[in-house]
Amino acid sequence: MEKGEQVALQGDSGSGKTTFLHLLSGILQPDQGTIFLNGEDITMLGEAERDRLRATSIGYIFQTFNLLQGFTCLENVLLGMSFGPGADETRAKELLDRVGLSDRFHHHPRQLSIGQQQRVAVARALANKPSLVLADEPTGNLDPENTHLAIDLMRELCSENDAGLLLVSHDVKVVESLPRKEVWDDMNVLLSKGKQK
Amino acid sequence: MKGSALWIAWKSLQQHALSTWIAAVSIALAGGLLMSVWTLRIEAENTFARSTCGFDAVLGPRSSKLQLVLNSIFHLEASPGTIPGSTEMQLKRHPMIRNAFKRVIPIAVGDNYKGYRLVGTTSTLFTEHEYAEGKKFQIAGEGSYFSADAKEAVAGSFAAKKLGLKVGDTFQPYHGLTYVEGTQHEDIYTITAILETTSTPADRVIWIPIKGIQTMEGHREDLQNDVSAYLVKLRSKKAIAMLDPMFNKQGKEYTFASIVPVMSRFFQKFGWFEKILELVAYLVGIAAAGSILAILYNIMNEKRREIAILRSLGARRRTLVSMVIYQSTGIAFLGVILSFAFYIIVASTAAQIIREQTGVVLDLFAFQPIFVWVPAGMLVLGVISGLLPAIVAYQTEVSRNLAPSS
C-alpha cells in the first residue's frame, strides 16, 4: 500500500482476514516473514515497541465497534489517543463533531444507535492521527443505507487525515466501493503473492 | 489526568460502584474495629488509672481489692460491707500509718436517686482535696457545699444533667444501690450546689453528708456509725509497700487496696477478650483483602475483552497492571477513609456508654500509633490483593479476546 492509499481486502469468513490485520497491527507476531509499515519491519520490534506503534500509527475499527461501555463517546475517543500522543479533548470533540455527534459527547455507547456507535469507532480510530486505519468488517452490523454512509465517512476522514485505509470485508458491495481491491480465498494465497513480490 | 491509567482505573471503579463499595466497607469494618479495640483498650486503661479522684488507695472491710476500688472510687459494684467509724481514730494512733496517710476521707453508700448513687462524705472532699493535680472540686454557678448535719446534697455534673437537678430542688432517696420504684426513703434532701464537670466518676454521684447515709430512715441503727470505706491520699506512694502487707497480710479486719495496681490487674483480666476482638478484626481484614481480590479478579475476567481493546489501542501491559493496582489501592483508600468514620461511630458509642456507666471520659482523638499503621497496613493489603487480578490483566491475550474472527 502506498501512503494514504485506500484498499479493500475481500475474503470469506475464516480465511484469516482478522488474523492478517492482527499481524499488521503488531497484535500478533508472525512465525516467519516480514511486515513493513512506514518503511520499518515491524516483525523486528519488541512487544512494547509494537504497542507504541499501535498507539501512534495505527487506527482500528472493529465489526462490533468495541467501544468501552463505561466510558462516554468523548472518553472513548480520548482513549484512542491516550496511549500515543496523549489525550486532547479539543481534537476529540472536533472528531466527534466531524462524524456528526457533537450533541452526543457525554452519551454512553448504549445510549446510541448502531450507526452512531460506528461513527464513534471511526472517530476513535483517527484520534491518534494514524498513518494507517485497519477496518475489520466495519459495516458488518449496519443496514445497507448506513453501510454506504459509513464507508463514505471512513474514506473521507482517512483522506482528510492523510491516513491509509485497509478495509477487510466479505461483502462484495463494500469492497467494490474502495478504489483498490484484493481478493483472497486463503491467507496462503496472499502470503505466496508477497513472496513473489 | 484524562487518558492516564489512573483515570481509566477511576472510570472502572465507577462502573463497578456496588462491588467497590462492598469491598471498601469490608475494609472499613476491619480497620475501624482494629482501631476501636486498640484505642479503647489503651485509653480506658490510661484514663481509669488517672481517674482515681486524686486518691492513692482505699481502706475498707475485708473483701476483694477490686470490689473495694470499684465501689469506692468508680461507684460501681456492690458495697463489700462496712467498717466502724472509729477506725479512723484507731489508725491515727498508729505512728507509721499517721505518717503515711496525708488525708483520709470517709464515705458511706447504700442509697440512690433514680439509679445515681448517693455517697455520704465530709465537706473536706470539696474544700481540701484535689481530685487531680492542682484541681479542687468547684461549684458550677451559685450554691454552697452541704452542712454536715443538714439534709442537703451536692450533685455531680453528669448526674445533675441526667436527672435535671438544679440548686433548690428537693428529692427523696431510694434505698439500695440500684433504683427500684417504691423503695423511697421518707427523708427529703435539697440540692445546694451542682459541681463543675471533672471527667471523673465523681460526676455521676450525688454527695450528701455522711451522717445522712448513716442515719437515713430505714437503715440499721446499730450501723449508724459505720462507714463503707476510707479514701486515702498518701504522703508518698512508697508507703504502699509498707501498708499493703500491714493491712492485707498481718491484719485481718481491713482490706487496703492501692488503686492503680488494682485497676491494671483488672484490665489485664480483659486481655483475652481484647485478643479475640483483635483476632476478629484481623480476620475481617483478611476477608476484606480477599473480597478485593475476588472482586477485581472477577472484574478482570469480565473485562478481558475491554483489556484486549485497550491493548489494541496501544496500552502496554504494564499500563494495565498499574490500572489494576490503582483500582485495588483506590478501594483500600476508600476503605481507610470509611474506617475512620466507622472508628468514630464505634468508639464514640463505647465511650458514651463508659461515661454513662462510670463517669470516666475517654479522649478518643488523642494520637495513637495505630492511626498510622492500620491505614498503612490496609493500603499495603490493597496493593497485594490487586496483584493476582493484575496478573490476569497482564496475561490477557489480545487477539483471542477481541472481536470474533471473521
Task: From first to last of the 406 residues of chain B, give the pLDDT tens digit.
Answer: 777 889 999 988 888 888 889 888 888 988 888 898 888 888 888 888 778 889 999 999 999 999 999 999 999 888 888 999 888 888 888 888 889 999 999 999 989 999 999 999 999 999 999 998 899 999 998 999 999 999 999 999 999 999 999 999 999 999 988 888 888 898 999 999 999 999 889 999 999 999 998 888 877 877 788 999 999 999 998 999 999 998 898 878 899 999 999 988 888 877 787 788 778 878 877 887 887 788 877 777 777 888 899 999 999 999 999 998 998 899 999 999 999 999 999 989 988 888 888 777 888 888 889 899 889 988 998 888 888 888 888 988 888 887 543 4
B381-B386-B391 Cα angle (round to 5) = 140
* In the predicted structure, residue A64 carries a pLDDT above the cut 90: no
Same domain (yes/no): B61, B40 = no
Any domain includes B376: yes
B284-B287-B290 Cα angle (round to 5) = 155
Q: Using CA atoms in the order B1, B3, B5, B6, what is the torsion angle rounded to 10 degrees?
A: 30
Any domain includes B291: yes
Alpha-carbon distance of A77 to A122, in angstroms, equals: 9
Cell of A148: 454506504
Give the chain B residue nearest A78 (alpha carbons): B3
Alpha-carbon distance of A43 to A194, in angstroms, equals: 15
Any domain includes B134: yes
Same domain (yes/no): B67, B166 = yes
Same domain (yes/no): B204, B317 = no
In chain A, the domains with their CATH numbers are 6-196 (3.40.50.300)
Q: B364: domain range?
A: 5-48+270-401
Look-up of cell digits 455507547: A109
Q: What is the pLDDT of residues A112-137, one digit of tens each?
A: 999 999 999 999 999 999 999 999 98
Query: Taken in order A12, A18, A23, A24, is the CA torsion positive or negative?
Result: positive
Segment holding B121, helix H or strand E: strand B116-121
Cβ(B339)–Cβ(B31) below 8 Å = yes
Same domain (yes/no): B143, B282 = no
Report strand pairing: A132-136 vs A164-169: parallel
Question: Per-residue confidence at A193, pLDDT binned at 50, 70, 90?
Answer: low
pLDDT for res B406: 40
Closest CA to A137 of A158, A168, A116: A168
Report strand pairing: B229-234 vs B57-61: antiparallel
Same domain (yes/no): B223, B183 = yes
Contact A13/B406, CB-based, under 8 Å? yes
Q: Of A18, A25, A128, which has the smallest distance from its Cβ to B406's Cβ?
A: A18
* Residue of A51, A124, A126, A175 best to disrupt the B interface, most CBs of B under 10 A: A51
Alpha-carbon distance of A146 to B268, in angstroms, equals: 79
Whether the CB of B314 is below 8 Å from some CB of chain A: the reply is yes
Phi/psi for B250 (5° steps) reads: -80, -40
**DSSP result, B343-382:** HHHHHHHHHHHHHHHH-PPP-TTS--THHHHHHHHHHHHH
Domains: count for chain B:
2
Whether the CB of B269 is below 8 Å from some CB of chain A: the reply is no
Closest CA to A149 of A99, A102, A111: A99
Any domain includes B394: yes
For chain B, count helices (H), then strands (E): 16, 12
Closest CA to B206 of B262, B264, B160: B160
Reported as half-sphere exposure (CB side, CA atoms, 13 A), residue B261 has a value of 10
Any domain includes B115: yes
Whether the CB of B299 is below 8 Å from some CB of chain A: the reply is no
Any domain includes B150: yes
Any domain includes B95: yes
Segment holding A164, helix H or strand E: strand A164-169
Closest CA to B120 of B131, B110, B129, B130: B110
Same domain (yes/no): B155, B212 = yes
Closest CA to B151 of B172, B131, B137, B167: B172
Which residues are CB-contacts of A23 (< 8 A; sequence separation ≥ 6)?
A: A29, A30, A35
Q: Using CA atoms in the order B398, B400, B401, B404, what is the torsion angle rounded to 10 degrees?
A: 130
Cell of B205: 454521684
Q: Other CB atoms closer than 10 Å to residue B272's CB: what's the count? A: 9
Q: What is the pLDDT of residues B190-242, one digit of tens each?
A: 999 999 999 889 999 999 999 998 888 877 877 788 999 999 999 998 999 99
Burial class (CB in 10 A: 0-12, 13-18, 19+), B211: middle
Which residues are CB-contacts of B191 (< 8 A; sequence separation ≥ 6)?
A: B143, B152, B153, B154, B155, B160, B165, B166, B167, B168, B169, B170, B171
Same domain (yes/no): B23, B73 = no
Segment holding A41, helix H or strand E: strand A40-41
Alpha-carbon distance of B200 to B48, in angstroms, equals: 9
Cβ(A178)–Cβ(A5) below 8 Å = no
Contact B406/A51, CB-based, under 8 Å? no
Any domain includes B406: no
Q: Which of B245, B262, B279 is the C-terminal boundary of a domain?
A: B262
Same domain (yes/no): B213, B234 = yes
Same domain (yes/no): B59, B86 = yes
Q: Which of B262, B278, B306 is the C-terminal boundary of a domain?
A: B262
Q: Of A64, A70, A89, which has the smallest distance from its Cβ to B11's Cβ?
A: A70
Whether the CB of B56 is below 8 Å from some CB of chain A: the reply is no
Alpha-carbon distance of A153 to A67, in angstroms, equals: 18
Beta bridge partners of A166: A7, A134
Distance of CA A60 to the CA centre of its chain: 3
pLDDT for res B221: 78
Whether the CB of B3 is below 8 Å from some CB of chain A: the reply is yes
Same domain (yes/no): B106, B198 = yes
DSSP state, residue A27: S
Same domain (yes/no): B201, B121 = yes
pLDDT for res A191: 56
Same domain (yes/no): B196, B109 = yes
Burial class (CB in 10 A: 0-12, 13-18, 19+), A122: buried
To the nearest whole Å, the CA of A162 is away from the closest chain B CA by: 19
**DSSP result, A58-76:** EEEE-TT----TTS-HHHH
Whether the CB of B18 is below 8 Å from some CB of chain A: the reply is no
DSSP SS3 for A21? helix
Q: Which of B212, B243, B262 is the C-terminal boundary of a domain?
A: B262
Whether the CB of B405 is below 8 Å from some CB of chain A: the reply is yes
pLDDT for res A47: 92
Q: Of B11, B315, B398, which has the smallest distance from its Cβ to A83's Cβ?
A: B315
